[in-house]
A and B are shown apart, each in its own frame.
Chain A
Amino acid sequence: MNTIDSIATPVMTTGRLVNAYVQEAKSECLRYMRNPGFLLPTLLFPSVFYLMFGIFLAHSNSADAPRYLLASYGTFGVMAPGLFGFGVSLALERDTGLLTLKRAMPMPPGAYLLGKMCMAMLVAATVSIILMCMAVFLAGVSLPASRLAAFFVLEVLGVLPFCALGLLVGTLVKGQGAPGVVNLIYLPMAFLSGLWFPLSIMPSFIQSIAPIWPAYHLDQLALSVVGLGQGGILIHVLVLLGFTTAFLLLAARRLRRYG
């Protein structure tokens, strides 16, 4: 036994460890809340769409439209924090050396990903609250509190499959190319899942491939929550869980190999 081992080193207590996770999540939330370039488009896109199509142009719609659009713009709104907040930021931070620095420092494993996840969930929560307020107070949607609460929970959890997809993209693409790649996934997927135009008015081919998109399944769940669903809740939940697990496993494999 040499002198090095005998010198007492302070031990990381559980309290300090939990504090490290909390600090990481807090910093991650703070830095994005202060970044209008990320926050404004993420919050404005779904709410402006809802304002236009769900409220101003509502007279030409059916009576169910404000509820229908709450579900689809809600889904559209939670895709962005997952894909951009998670995927793009990971890709950039792998490129700029921040991730390397954090790996060299004794950051608890998982704090980094958990911090980004909290940030994405917080933004998803904000998006869903804005949309619900607009739906209830401006568009006159009347839903029982239990359904609104369920919608809120669904939106906050619904960001997770997109965090996992963002994580996978972030491990595949490095640096400045990431926003482009993420947009190539985000916008077509939103369109093909029926978030902008109902699937029922789309060509049958697009309707038939819709189930391969995670956003389609989240939208179906959101529609069920606002009372316009076509059932199959359990299947949609399982498919989303499956997507999340698959993306996570692929990303973890990729991270282990290439760092």
Chain B
Amino acid sequence: MNNDTCIARLDQVGKRYGAIVALDGINLQIHRGELLALLGPNGAGKSTSIGLLLGLHRADSGSVSLFGRDPQDIEARRRIGVMLQSAALPPTLKVGELISLTASYYPAPRTVAECAAFADIGDLLDRRYSTLSGGQQRRVQFAMALAGRPEILFLDEPTVGMDIVARQALWAAMRKAVAAGCAVVLTTHYLEEAEALADRVCVIAKGRVVSEGTVDALRAHVAVRRIRCITSTAAATVAAWPHVLSAECVQGRLAIATAEAESVVRRLLDTDASLSELEVQRAGLAEAFTEITRETESTDLSQEAA
């Protein structure tokens, strides 16, 4: 991607809290109109990265820019929308009042009705915030984040604690925002969320970006595929075959991990003609993620050993 589309960046940014290194020379770019997912274990530096881009903290080293400005400059922040992980909004205010308050901070905001339609909360506008369910509250926060016609939306763990229906409703709203040309930066624990939404994924571990690319590119990190089937062939027998990394019996099914799925499947079918319920799956983002963080740890160890 070309440099001109970059609207927010962290450049060689370091940040420490006392003895703890939160960010260790991280580089991150956000481009116009993309949906970028930041993935990583707790304490990896995702929220710190977002906090820096929102002007909540100052970097110890390196540079942070938002639309070419310091994020602490309010002009830059008038072009963003924010939804934070844990913000308790005033319980006695009504949804419509919360949205119009947020809209008042921006130069050319959406109307309350437009925000409500976007996040599908038109029926909630007269309700007090405290009377809403968790999922409804998150949707209201999303509507508030959209109020200023932002060019970037920062969503810190937006779907934590939501049931699957509510989560999918919020996903649909996020896709609509991206379709309208808004870039979205999403931090999440849920790999399937990144898988369902992201154009690009950055895996962050120990304050650095350890891997970056499309969901497919990340999954390609892991050559292993999983085969599952019901068969009379014993797990121990299959485990001894060439190219088979592991084979075990899980809930009455044989589960095999292999890099050569085609040849293993052929041999399975040859061995047991009555084999049924055959499934072959590429590793999900979850496996890729584990693999990538494990690789990082082992390089760290070998560097420390050297």
Interfacial residues, chain A to chain B (CB-CB below 8 A): 2-5, 9-13, 16, 19-20, 22-24, 27, 30-32, 34-35, 93, 96-98, 100-101, 103-109, 259
Contacts and interface: CB of A to CB of B under 8 A. Distances in A.
A169 B85 CA distance: 26
Nearest to B82: A104
A10 B104 CA distance: 14
Contacts of A22: 104
Interface stretch (B94-102, B275-283, B292-300): B94-102
B292 to A, nearest CB: 29
Interface in B70-119: 74-75, 77-80, 82, 84-93, 97-98, 100-102, 104-108
Given A30-B97, A34-B128, A103-B54, 11 more contacts: A2-B68, A4-B4, A24-B104, A34-B92, A96-B86, A98-B89, A103-B56, A104-B56, A106-B78, A106-B106, A259-B56
B90 A27 contact: yes
A72 to B, nearest CB: 32
B79 A9 contact: yes
Contacts of B74: 106, 108-109
17 contacts: A2-B3, A9-B67, A12-B78, A16-B104, A20-B105, A30-B92, A34-B92, A97-B85, A97-B86, A97-B87, A98-B87, A100-B84, A103-B56, A105-B102, A106-B77, A108-B105, A109-B74
Contacts of B148: 106
A207 B293 CA distance: 68
Given A2-B3, A104-B55, A10 B84 contact: no
B7 interface: yes
A2 B4 contact: yes
Contacts of A19: 104
A98 B67 CA distance: 25
A98 B107 contact: no
B104 A23 contact: yes
Given A3-B4, A100-B56, A106 B105 contact: yes
Interface of B: 3-7, 54-56, 67-68, 74-75, 77-80, 82, 84-93, 97-98, 100-102, 104-108, 128, 148, 154
A28 B165 CA distance: 34
Nearest to B104: A23
B194 to A, nearest CB: 22
A4 B68 contact: yes
Contacts, number: 98
Contacts of A97: 84-88
A81 B98 CA distance: 23
A32 to B, nearest CB: 8
B101 A27 contact: yes
A27 B88 contact: no
A245 B166 CA distance: 49
A155 B248 CA distance: 78
A105 B82 contact: yes
A49 to B, nearest CB: 27
A10 B108 contact: yes
A201 B91 CA distance: 45
Contact of B93 (A10, A16, A31, A108): A31
A35 B82 CA distance: 27
A32 B90 CA distance: 9
B68 A5 contact: yes
A34 B79 CA distance: 32
A103 to B, nearest CB: 6
B3 A101 contact: no
Contacts of B78: 9, 12, 106
A106 B80 CA distance: 8
Contacts of A9: 67, 75, 78-79, 107
Nearest to B4: A3
B67 to A, nearest CB: 6
Contacts of A30: 92-93, 97
Nearest to A5: B68
B7 to A, nearest CB: 6
B148 to A, nearest CB: 7
A106 B104 CA distance: 10
Contacts of B91: 31
Nearest to A21: B104
